[in-house]
Structure formats: C-alpha cells, structure tokens
Structure 1
Amino acid sequence: MKFKKEELKEFLDEKVDKYNRTGFIEHDPISIPHQFTRKEDIEISGFLAATIAWGNRTMILKSASRMMAYMDNSPYEFVLHHSKSDLENIKGVIHRTFNAADFIYFISALKHIYTNHNGLESIFNKYRAQVSLQPAIHKFRSLFFELPHDSRTMKHISDPFKGSAAKKINMFLRWMIRKDNRGVDFGIWESLS
C-alpha cells in the first residue's frame, strides 16, 4: 500500500479520530491509569499496564487490574512503603511471560527510581536528546536494572539502541507526554512536552 503525502495524512487522521477518543479508553490498557488522579499513581499504573500490553486486550486489563489489586489500588504508596510480606503475597503468572518474580522486581526497581532518581519523568527529561527519546529510554532501562535481577526480567523493557522499536515504552511515554485535549493521553509530563 503506497500513499501520497496527502493520502497518508488523511489515513492517519482517520486512525487518530477512531482511536484517540474517550470512548476508546474503557477497553484499552490506558483505562488502568485513568483510574487514578495522583501523578505518581498514573505514572506507575501506566508503566505497568504498558509493560504487559501484548495479546488480548481483555486479558491485559484483567492482568493489570490484578497488579493494581496486589498494590491495594495505591501504586505509589505501595511502591514506596511495601513490606517483604506484601511481596510474598504476589505469586504465579501475572500476564503471559510476565510473572510474579518480574512484578516483584519491577516494584523494587520503581522504588529505587522514585527514591534515588526523583521519579520516572525526571529520568526521561534528564537523558532525552534534542529530537529523540531513544537515549532516555536506553538510560532509563540501565537505571531500572541497577538492582540485582534475573536476566529474563530484562526482556520486559526494550532497548532502542539494540534495534528494538520499544513500542510498549513509547506507548507509555505518549500517554505521559502528549497533551491534545482529547481526554485519552494524560500530558502530565510538562517538562517533556
């Protein structure tokens, strides 16, 4: 399918109108962070929902909701103040190949990010390039995996410097950065908009 510039713009505008509307939220992973109002809750729930956003959307939503339930539907408070026994309650498969060990590591890594690097937005803002977020994604990934971890867990965050399109993390970044007043994306990261 080959498009002229005008045809491509028209095609893409149609897709935006179809998917970038509030009626689409309910059945999409972005519905998970839309349950929250606190910036950090939106960030953490959005990051986790985007991380497992592959496969059947109904199952993604069910799995992401289960993650929020494990965190008492207060992701930021849970990340910062969880106990060892809280983590021991997390068992089994969370979503497809994302298992309890991965989720537990993600909770620990997020605590590390928020307590030692001033949160997710701060990292992406600090390491972004003039025209690309690829360097920031690469640096975020290395900071995220600073703590001891299973090597298999690293597959859940792609690295654009290793040839990946990093679709899930880019989707998360779009949710946090894009402010188009349509009510879907949050646009809460003003330092990057």
Structure 2
Amino acid sequence: MKATLNNNLEAFLNAKAAYYEQPAFIADDPISIPHQFSRKQDIEIAGFFAAILAWGNRKSIINSCKRLLQLMDNAPYDFVLNFEEPDLEMLLKFVHRTFNAVDLFHFLDVLQYHYKTRRQTSFETAFSDHLISGDDSVEKALIGFHHYFFDAKIFPHLPKRTQKHIATPERKSACKRLNMYLRWMVRSNARGVDFGLWKNIRPHQLICPLDLHVARVARHFNLLHRTNNDWKAATDLTEHLKTLDPTDPCKYDFALFGLGVIERF
C-alpha cells in the first residue's frame, strides 16, 4: 500500500504506529529486557545494555542480554553499586558480536561512577545535564553523554576500542541505538511499551532511531531524501515526522520499524 497524499499518509502511519505500539510488540523486541524489571534503576541499566547490544538478529540480541543479566544475578543496579574486581571474573567470557569484556568493564565503571560515586538516582542526568533551555533536540545530550562516558580525567585507563560502541553526532553518526534508548526512557508508557521514566527530556526533543529498514520505508514515503543514513538523515526524518505530530514524532518509529522489519515493506 502506498499513501501519496499527506493526509492519507498521516492516517496510514498513525494507524500503523497504534497497531505496533502495544504490549504484544514487546516479546520479540530488545525492549523486553528492561520490561523484566520494576525498579527504575534496573530498567535504566538493563535498557541501556539492551539498546547498546541491539545490532544483529533480534533473537540473538535478546539472548545475549539475558545472558549478561544472569551474570549480574538479574539485579543490575545492585551489581553496579557493589561489584568489585573479583566479581568481574565471571564476565570475562561475555561477548556479543564485537562487544566483549573489555568494553563491558568500562561500561560498568561508568555506571558505578554515575550511580555510586556521583550518587545520581537516575541515568537520565548523564544525558540531560548537557541540555540547555530551548534545545529542540537531544543532539547536545548525545554529544555531552559521549564526552562524559569517555572522560579521560575520570577514566584514565579507558580502552579506546570501546569508543566505537557509543555513537555521537559529532562523528555524524545517526546514533540509532542511543536514540532508541532515549525513546524507551522518555516516551509515555500509556500504551504499555515505552517507559516514560525520564521527565527532563521531552518527547518532542527525541530523534527517530534510524536504521536501514526505517530509512528504506521513510524514503518510500518521501519522508527522507538524504542518501546517507547519518545524523543529518535522522534529524531530517524527524523534522518530517514533526509535521505529522510535533509533540511526539518518535511514535512513528513503531510504524516505520514495523513496516520495514515485520512486514518487510
């Protein structure tokens, strides 16, 4: 089905977004990982790892996340607060594609620094602290988060190889996985899929997660004209989606993803 008129397209995408944004969507998606938890910090940490490991087959992603959480005794927040060096030995063999124990140890160091050393009650501040009043997108939040995550003054022994696992608009990356994580944490949980835990970042500031499938469908509907799947493409797509819903453009991620991955549109 190809919608050509803008009002037809809006109705079509609204219907698809509503169809996919429901609890039945959760089971086969990486968002099922944070949905295993009820405590805010557990959701944040499990969701962060689920988003960062979200490349490849969805079943493989979910299995890797479950394996990682089992190594943390399915209590990620308690593990982050209390782990010591001997506790990391059990994680030495963890690997998901190119993400390995070297990367994991730095991630855990950052999380422990954030929650325990800085005594932050939410991971949101790792992003929202870098926004200023009037920002219309999360671009500065993502750039600031990358600097925070790889601050050599705080983490003098940080492994350079790990930087490839955290994207940044400064390198023109579409930042698909981080934008997906922010969508999970920020968008309302009224429909039972996203969590709506974070309040300092607003839904209208989110950038649509852009992968090959979403980009293909977006180009089909003339929502995206740029050929590269980079940061500019992600922001261009989001600006088009804001013409359909300026307050919650990323709800259409469900429509574009569902059409591209599930329906193979």
Q: Identify the match of residue 141 of structure 2 among 136, 149, 155.
A: 136
Structure with more of its chain in helix, by fraction: 1
Normalised by the size of structure 1, how large is the TM-score?
0.93
SS in 2 for 1:124: helix
1:117-156 alignment runs, 5 A limit? 118=120, 119-129=122-132, 130-146=135-151, 147=155, 148-156=157-165
CA distance in 2, matches of 1:126, 1:133: 11
Post-superposition, which runs of at least 4 consecutive aligned residues in structure 1 deviate over 6 A? none
1:60-71 alignment runs, 5 A limit? 60-71=61-72
Corresponding position of 1:160: 169
Q: Identify the match of residue 192 of structure 2 among 179, 183, 190.
A: 183
Contact 1:110 1:144 in 2 (8 A): no
Q: How far did 1:103 drift?
A: 1.1
Change (3 A) 1:180 1:93: closer
Contact 1:45 1:75 in 2 (8 A): yes
Count residues in correspondence: 193
CA distance in 2, matches of 1:117, 1:164: 31
CA distance in 1, matches of 2:184, 2:95: 22
User: What one-letter code is carried by the residue in structure 2 that aligns with 1:28?
Assistant: D
The CA deviation string for residues 130-178 of structure 1, in whole angstroms up to 9 with x for no partner, is 2011101111111111212221111111001221110100000000000
Contact 1:34 1:42 in 2 (8 A): yes
SS in 1 for 2:95: strand
Q: What are the ranges of 5 or more consecutive residues in structure 1 without an aligned counterpart?
A: none
Corresponding position of 2:118: 116
Q: What are the ranges of 5 or more consecutive residues in structure 2 without an aligned counterpart?
A: 203-265
Q: Greater Rg, structure 1 or structure 2?
A: 2
Corresponding position of 1:51: 52
What value does the CA root-mean-square deviation take over the aligned residues?
A: 1.7
CA distance in 1, matches of 2:104, 2:67: 11
